[in-house]
Amino acid sequence: MISALGDLSRERAGTTLNATGKVLTPGFIDMHSHSDWRLWANRRAESKIRQGVTTEVVGNCGFSPAPVSPEFRDDLRGFALYVPKGMTFEWPSFRDYLHAFDADGTALNVVHLVGHGTLRIAAMGFARRPPTAGELTRMQRLMADAMDDGAWGLSTGLIYAPGSYAQTDEIIAVARSAARQRGFYASHIRGEGATLLDAVSEAIRVGREGELPVQVSHVKAAGRPNWGNVPRALELIDAARAEGIDVRADVYPYTASSTTLRTLLPDWALEGGIDAMLKRLADPTERARVRAAVESPSAESIVSRVGWENVMISYCAKRKDLEGRRLSEIARAQGIDAVEAAIQLIVDEAGKAYMILFQLDEADLRAALAHPHVMIGSDGSSLAPYGPLGEGKPHPRSYGTFPRVLGEYAREQRTLSLATAVHKMTGLPAARLGLRDRGVLRTGARADLVVFDARRVADRATYEDPHRYPDGIEHVIVNGRFVIKHGEHTGSLPGRVLTPP
Ligand SMILES: [Zn+2]
C-alpha cells in the first residue's frame, strides 16, 4: 500500500528510487483486454506490464473461458481461438476457473467479466434461435452465480456467433442478473459500421432496462462511408448520461482494427459451431451461399466497406508465409479472387486465422480520445516477443496502446493533455469498476505505480514489426513489488485476481 505521500526526505526507507524529472502515476488499467487466454501461457504479462499496465479487464466481447457446462464443453473448446496448456474447460463454476487461473500467479492484476456467448453456449450450444424459458433461466442463474464467484459484470460480442443470435430482450434479462449484484455491462456492440448508431442505442437500452452501467467497447466507425460517425455516437452517450444512465466507452489509439478472419462470414455460417461451419464450406451449394453473403453490399458486410487491399492477414497456424500480406495480393498470387482466397484460408486454418482491417478514421479516433467519458482499452492481449506468443504479426495495440496515447496523442499531437491521458488510464477506469483503492495516488491506496519519462515515452510496435516493447516506461510496481525495474522484467508475479468490492 501507499503509506505516505509528500516530502519524505527525512524518512528512512529500505529502497530509494531516484525518479527526478520523471512522471509518477498510478498503474494503468486496461479497460478492454483479451488476456484471459494468453496469461495462461505467459504469466509475466510481458507486452502489457512493459506499457505500465497493472490491471487488465478480461472476459470481453462475449467470450470468457467459464462457466462451462459438460454438455457443451466441446462447443466452447472448438470456438476458442487459442487454447493454452492448463486450460482444460473443466470448470463448472466461475469460482473454479478463477481459482485455477490464480494458482500460478501473474505479473499484473486481473478483473474478470463473464461472456454472454459463453453463458449461451453453456445453456444451449450454438443454436441460432431465441432461448426457451428454461434456457434463459439457466443463463441468468449462471450469471448470478458467476457474480457471487468474483465476476465484475457481463460482456457481449454481438457481431460474433452465438452472441449475434441473441435479441435485445435476452441480453436485458441476463444483464438484470448482473445488475442485481452491481455488475456492469460491456458490449462489443451489434454494428460498428453503417449500423453504429442503432447499435449504441441498443447498448444504452440494455443499461436503461437492465438497470446497470454500460461500457461501449472499442468505440469506432468502421469503413470509409461511415467515417465521421464517432462524434454522433458520443452524442448518444452524452444524451443517455443526461438521462441518468451511466454510459461510458473505451478506445484504442489506432486506425486499424483486428479480429478473426472468419468474422468476414455471415453469422449463420457458424450455426452449430466451427465443425458445422467447416462442413458447410465443404458443400459447394452452401459455400456458394456463404460466398454471395460475403460479397453482398449489406449494411454490415465488412468487405463492401473496406476493400480487400485493406485486409491484412495477421496470424495463421499453418500458412506462416501469408502473415503480413494483404488478401488482394494473396488472391492475385494464387490466381483466384479474394473472396475465394479468404474462404479457403478460413477452411485451411479451421477458423483460427486473424486479420487486421485498415478501416478507421484519424479524426474519429481523436474525437474519442478527447471525450471526457472515453477511457483507454487496448483490445489486445498480454503477448511476448518469444515463444508461442511471439508468433505472427498481431495488431500492435498489444504492445503499444498506452505509450502511444502518452507519446503520440498527448505529447506530439496534443489531442489531450498528459494529465487527462493518465486519468483515462487510471482514475476513469477505476471509477467505472468501482475500484476505490486503485487508479489513484493516495495514502492507503494499493501500490500499483508507474514511473515513465514523459519526453521519451513512445510505442515502437508497428503493423509490420509488432513484437516490440515501448520506450520510456522505466519502473512498474504491482501491489508494492517491482515487476519492471530500470526497464527490465524482474520475474516477480505479484498480481492477483481482483474481486469486486
Ligand atoms: Zn470486441
Return the C-alpha cell found at 284.
459447394
pLDDT of res. 171: 98
- Going residue by residue through the chain, which has 501 residues, state the pLDDT in tens, using 9 for 90 and above: 999 999 998 988 888 999 999 999 999 999 999 999 999 999 999 999 999 999 999 999 999 999 999 999 988 888 787 788 888 898 989 999 999 999 999 999 999 999 999 999 999 999 999 999 999 999 999 999 999 999 999 999 999 989 999 999 999 999 999 999 999 999 999 999 999 999 999 999 999 999 999 999 999 999 999 999 999 999 999 999 999 999 999 999 999 999 999 999 988 998 888 889 999 999 999 999 999 999 887 766 777 788 899 999 999 999 999 999 999 999 999 999 999 999 999 999 999 999 999 999 999 999 999 999 999 999 999 999 999 899 999 999 999 999 999 999 999 999 999 999 999 999 999 999 999 999 999 999 999 999 999 999 999 999 999 999 999 999 999 999 999 999 999 999 999 999 998
Taking the centre of ligand 1 as the mean of its atom positions, its distance from the CA of residue 37, in whole angstroms, is 14
Cell digits of residue 399: 504492445
- Residue 30, SS3? strand
Cα 257 to averaged position of ligand 1 atoms, centre (Å): 9
Ligand 1 mean position, distance from CA 115 (Å): 11
CA of 79 to the centre of ligand 1 (A): 15
pLDDT on residue 300: 65
- Cis-peptide into 466, omega within 30 deg: no
Q: How far apart are CA 135 and CA 206, in angstroms?
A: 20
Residue 481 backbone class (left: φ over 0; alpha: ψ -120 to 50; beta: rest): beta
Ligand 1 center from residue 442 Cα (angstroms)? 33
Distances (CA, A) of 483 to 53, 96, 406, 475: 11, 27, 21, 8
Q: Which of 172, 215, 243, 151 is nearest to 432 (CA)?
A: 215
CA distances from 42 to 30, 104, 384, 385, 499 (A): 17, 11, 8, 11, 22
Ligand 1 centre to CA of 107 (Å) is 24
**Distance between Cα 156 and ligand 1 center (Å):** 9
Q: Which three cell numbers stand for residue 439?
A: 487508479
Distance 256 CA to ligand 1 centre (A): 13
Whole-number Å distance, alpha carbon 193 to ligand 1 midpoint, is: 13
Here the cell at position 469 is 516493447
Ordered by where they begin, the domains of the chain are: 23-255+360-489 (3.20.20.140), 260-358 (no CATH)
The pLDDT score that the predictor gives to residue 151 is 98
Cell of 18: 531516484
Give distance in angstroms: CA of 317 to centre of ligand 1.
Answer: 22
Number of Cβ within 10 Å of residue 86's Cβ equals 11
DSSP assignments along 177-238, one per residue = HHHHTT-EEEEE-S-SSTTHHHHHHHHHHHHHHHTS-EEE-S----SGGGTT-HHHHHHHHH
Query: DSSP letters along 122-135, please?
Result: HHHTT--SPPPHHH
* Residue type, position 1, single letter: M
* R_g of the chain, CA atoms, integer Å: 22
- The three state secondary structure string of 371-427 is CCCEEECCCCCCCCCCHHHHCCCCCCHHHHHHHHHHHHHHHHCCCCCHHHHHHCCCH
CA 379 to chain centre: 3
Separation of 117 CA from ligand 1 center, angstroms? 12
Beta-strand runs (E) in 11-105:
23-26, 28-30, 53-58
Can you list the positions of beta strands (E) in 59-182? 109-112, 114-115, 153-157
